Copies of this chain bind each other. A is one copy, B any other.
Amino acid sequence: MTEPQPHTTTLGRLVGYRLRRASAVFASDFAVTLEGTGIRQIPMGILAVVADNPGINQGTVGRLLGIKRANMVPLINELIEAGLIVRETDPTDRRAFTLGMSAEGQRMLTECVARIEAHEERLLSGFTAAEKATLLDLLERIEQRAVTTD
């Protein structure tokens, strides 16, 4: 991560480029912030979705987060081996798995969210509450433009 492109350059005018760089700033600070927990950005997303939707099944988590079925497998295995989530066969559909938080996972998530909120406040310390809300709104609207292919 280094010097930004002034907005007078070819790249500086491109929203896609700016998004990539801003996202990278958050990702690398995220990694530093959660150092020691062993939690990365993607597994953290899974933990958060499972906590918000106890009993959700594996495929649905992937669909919500834009993670392909095949790539979910090792991610879920990792979280189970770490003792953070629990997997059960769905009694109503024996092909599917039902996911839930372990007590340890819930503790870990709470800890991570606290650290992440501090890291976001740090990175956005130059922003007013209104600016942050505007940013979230604009980003959410971009997300809604996604071509839902899977």
Residue numbers of A with Cβ under 8 A of B are 1-5, 7, 9-30, 41, 45, 48-49, 51-52, 63-66, 109, 113, 116, 119-120, 123-124, 126-127, 131-132, 134-136, 138-150
Contact = CB atoms under 8 A, between A and B. Distances in A.
A2 B120 contact: no
Interface of A is mostly: helix
Given A3-B63, A64-B3, A143 B16 contact: no
B113 A142 contact: no
Contacts of A29: 147
A22 B19 contact: yes
A20 B41 contact: yes
Given A5-B64, A17-B45, A64-B5, A10 B113 contact: yes
Contacts of A24: 66, 146
B148 A3 contact: yes
Contact of A140 (B7, B66, B131): B7
